[in-house]
Structure 1
Amino acid sequence: MYRVVLNRLSVAYLVVASVGALPLSAVADEIRLKNGDVITGKVVRKFNEKVVFKTSYAGDIQVTWSEIETIKTDEPLAVTLTDRSNLKTTLESYDSGKATIKLAQLDDDDEDGKKQYEEKEIPLADLLYINPTPELSGVGVNWSGRINLGGSVTQGNTDTTTLRLDGESIARTLNHRLTVAAVVNRATNNGENTQFNNRSSIKLDRFISNKWYVYANNTLENDRFRDIKLRTMTGIGSGYQIYERPDRNLFVEGGLNYVTVNYYDAENESYPGARWALKYDHRIFGGSTQFFHEHEVLLGLDSASNALAFTKTGLRFPIINNFNASIQYNLDWAGQPAEGRKSTDSALIFNLGYVWQ
């Protein structure tokens, strides 16, 4: 009799344990790789042929999309297909290399009054993005940018004030990217200006493929201590976006610019030039710190001495939420500066900043 009771208790325990385990497995997405490995967790997003998968044992991991044999998600995800259509659907694979998606509601309800959906099986290769950013989906704009502030005030035997303000804002859609940037530097020593310059720029990129784009740019610059009343650089060109990811960005571009310089004292000048530029940033130290480097070079086509170079290299460190601190080294060089001026200006800069994206 005791044996019968124990057996019944064992069966009841197994049933309760099995039922209790169902919700745990029901909330997990699953991908099966071609080598037979199975990974459970939650699908975060897919971009650049990588799917980011959140696991309880290893955090976020990246899996190459072409190595996935089947996929199953328990909740609807935003999906962009290769034909640029967007939908919200669960994914489930019944055949290797394919996934079933829910396309649209049918007119008829089922017996319980619930809406029915048309299901369609597609190759996994037709899934372009999962949970894409607004610009990748092609139906929105992704705004990102930063603003930095630095300065100091000393009083006593020395009376100095320095102020630096710079910012950049980027609006990205599927086929366009607008970048607006500006920097202002001011410094006084015992009431006299020792630094007074401004630089602003605007650039519009038009992507003609996933990587290639054409652009138009314009830059305005003023610097009293370099005798530059107004320098204008306007041009067009082409660029190639090597990386465009949350953890890494890199593009190179080149084109033609026309440079016009109005001086305070020297004779005004203008000339055509060839332009080369690079912009790179990369997350390091586990993604908490960002290394960045930018440079822009202009070579005068009428004279090799009409050359300009601008570089910026540094690190951004997170503080709290979207606030960060940065240290950077800037160098500006002119092959033919105004009379009595030096060719090179450099600065080591410490800033506090705010980033949005």
Structure 2
Amino acid sequence: MRLSNKLSHALSCAALTLAATPALADTVWLKNGDRLTGTIKVFDGGKLVVETSYGGTIPVDWKQVKTLESDRELMVKQDEFTGERAKSLKAAEDGKVTLINGEAPKTVELASIEQIIKPKPILEDLVWKGNVDVGLDYKRAETDTDDYDVDFKTTARHGAWRHNAEGGYNRESQDEVTTTNNWNAEYALDRFLDEHWFWQGRVSYTRDHIEDVSSQRTIGTGPGYQFWDDELGAFSLATLVNQNDYEYKDGGSDNFYSLGLKWDYNRYLVGKTFELFSNGELGKPIGGDSEYELDAEAGLRYKVTDWASLNMKAEKNIVSGAKDGEIDETRYSVGFGVGW
């Protein structure tokens, strides 16, 4: 009986000890003497992003990091295209970190590291992100209105290649009469030549069942520049030479070449709680009848959780001076979405 009491007391002490032991966490030591504990999410674009339980998501200037450690597997890249999968990271002397991988640990300079990400099961350096936004509006009054707005956008990067896909569907009706009914899809492939410069090829299609311009097909290619792309946002510009094919509701058609300036911008604020975004393209025909084209959107997302958000945005679509018809549409929407 006495032995049983001792055993019970020992087990109780062990349980209390385990309960009081803090969960394993990554640690970042800063040059000013501070220390952050949490989970290293990513290092990219000069910013180390650490998720903490006490301060949310904290971006840290990489130049202010003295050393760091993590017990998780991480992909550490010392150039733009190749990397090493480390079983863990161990703190080293100032300005360095030790990569633990089997029996041959390797200490490297922090300044030599270009990126730290969580490895993927197949393509280890694959970075995939995107979002889907949905807006719905039903009004029942003297005039019944139904409004649907669904948009998606996603990018996936592996090494020197980046795949971009986006699309949307808009439909609006009043008293069972359809006033807006269109959809669009686009795919672009980027080949990075160095850290910032890339070459893009893209194809897009827009179908409209209401407006005079019933369909638009565009194939383009040209150089682009990535100003930044990290956990806190991205900004790129691309200049394209496009071949455009228009078809009109009355059966007419237009074929011409154009020059286009395409932009893609997003930025997180207040610890990634808010996201500002804008993307679109401004085009000028080469010897065509239309004066210019603009297809753009801008908006704000509020992150409710890590994956869910509320959004509001404005969209503008202009085809000015077309031979058989023009477009001048502005849409405002409020809705919800998911992101990854």
TM-score, structure 1 length as denominator?
0.77
Where in structure 2 are the equivalents of 1:61-100 lying within 5 Å? 61-69=58-66, 71-73=67-69, 75=71, 77-82=73-78, 84-93=83-92, 95-100=93-98
> What residue is the counterpart of 1:124 in the other structure?
110
Deviation at 1:253, TM superposition (A): 0.7
Q: Answer with 126-135 or 206-215: which moved more.
A: 126-135
Do the aligned partners of 1:227 and 1:266 also contact (CA within 8 Å) in 2? no
Task: Choose from 167, 176, 189 the match for 2:161.
Answer: 176
Matched, 1:282 2:279: no
> What residue is the counterpart of 2:332 in the other structure?
348
Do the aligned partners of 1:92 and 1:101 also contact (CA within 8 Å) in 2? no
Matched, 1:258 2:243: yes
> Which amino acid is the alignment partner of residue 202 of structure 1?
Y
> What residue is the counterpart of 1:5 in the other structure?
none
Matched, 1:210 2:207: no
In structure 2, what is the Cα distance between the partners aligned to 1:102 and 1:286? Answer: 31
Q: 1:331 to 1:56 in 2, by over 3 A?
A: closer
Q: Answer with 213-222 or 321-330: which moved more.
A: 321-330
> Which amino acid is the alignment partner of residue 27 of structure 2?
D
In structure 2, what is the Cα distance between the partners aligned to 1:59 and 1:47? Answer: 18
> What residue is the counterpart of 1:101 in the other structure?
99
Q: Which runs of 5+ in 2 are unaligned?
A: 1-20
Deviation at 1:40, TM superposition (A): 5.1
In structure 1, what is the Cα distance between the partners aligned to 2:288 and 2:57? Answer: 53
Q: 1:236 to 1:245 in 2, by over 3 A?
A: same
> What residue is the counterpart of 2:232 in the other structure?
247
CA-to-aligned-CA distance 1:208-243 (integer Å, 9 cap, x gap): 222211111111112233222321011111111112
Task: Choose from 313, 324, 329 the match for 1:328.
Answer: 313
> Which amino acid is the alignment partner of residue 92 of structure 1?
A
In structure 1, what is the Cα distance between the partners aligned to 2:310 and 2:59? Answer: 29
In structure 2, what is the Cα distance between the partners aligned to 1:155 and 1:286? Answer: 39
In structure 1, what is the Cα distance between the partners aligned to 2:132 and 2:168? Answer: 10
- Matched residue pairs, number? 319
> Which amino acid is the alignment partner of residue 337 of structure 2?
G
In structure 2, what is the Cα distance between the partners aligned to 1:53 and 1:317? Answer: 20
Do the aligned partners of 1:47 and 1:132 also contact (CA within 8 Å) in 2? no
Deviation at 1:336, TM superposition (A): 1.4
Q: 1:80 to 1:138 in 2, by over 3 A?
A: farther
Deviation at 1:57, TM superposition (A): 7.1
TM-score, structure 2 length as denominator?
0.80
Deviation at 1:79, TM superposition (A): 4.3
> What residue is the counterpart of 1:19 in the other structure?
none
Task: Choose from 25, 35, 40 the match for 1:39.
Answer: 35
**Equivalent pairs: percent with the same residue?**
18
Deviation at 1:147, TM superposition (A): 2.0
In structure 2, what is the Cα distance between the partners aligned to 1:160 and 1:210? Answer: 49
In structure 1, what is the Cα distance between the partners aligned to 2:211 and 2:185? Answer: 17
CA-to-aligned-CA distance 1:271-324 (integer Å, 9 cap, x gap): 011010111111224421211111201110114734211111111123345222
Secondary structure (helix, strand or coil) at the match of 1:125 reads helix
Secondary structure (helix, strand or coil) at the match of 1:226 reads coil
Q: 1:287 to 1:81 in 2, by over 3 A?
A: closer
In structure 2, what is the Cα distance between the partners aligned to 1:149 and 1:27? Answer: 36
In structure 2, what is the Cα distance between the partners aligned to 1:313 and 1:257? Answer: 23
In structure 2, what is the Cα distance between the partners aligned to 1:193 and 1:148? Answer: 22
Deviation at 1:68, TM superposition (A): 4.2
Q: Which runs of 5+ in 1 are unaligned?
A: 1-22, 105-116
| Bigger RCO (CA 8 Å, 6+ sep) | 2
In structure 2, what is the Cα distance between the partners aligned to 1:235 and 1:253? Answer: 11
Secondary structure (helix, strand or coil) at the match of 2:104 reads strand
Query: Whose Rg is larger?
Result: 1
In structure 1, what is the Cα distance between the partners aligned to 2:274 and 2:36? Answer: 29
Secondary structure (helix, strand or coil) at the match of 2:304 reads strand
In structure 1, what is the Cα distance between the partners aligned to 2:335 and 2:189? Answer: 27
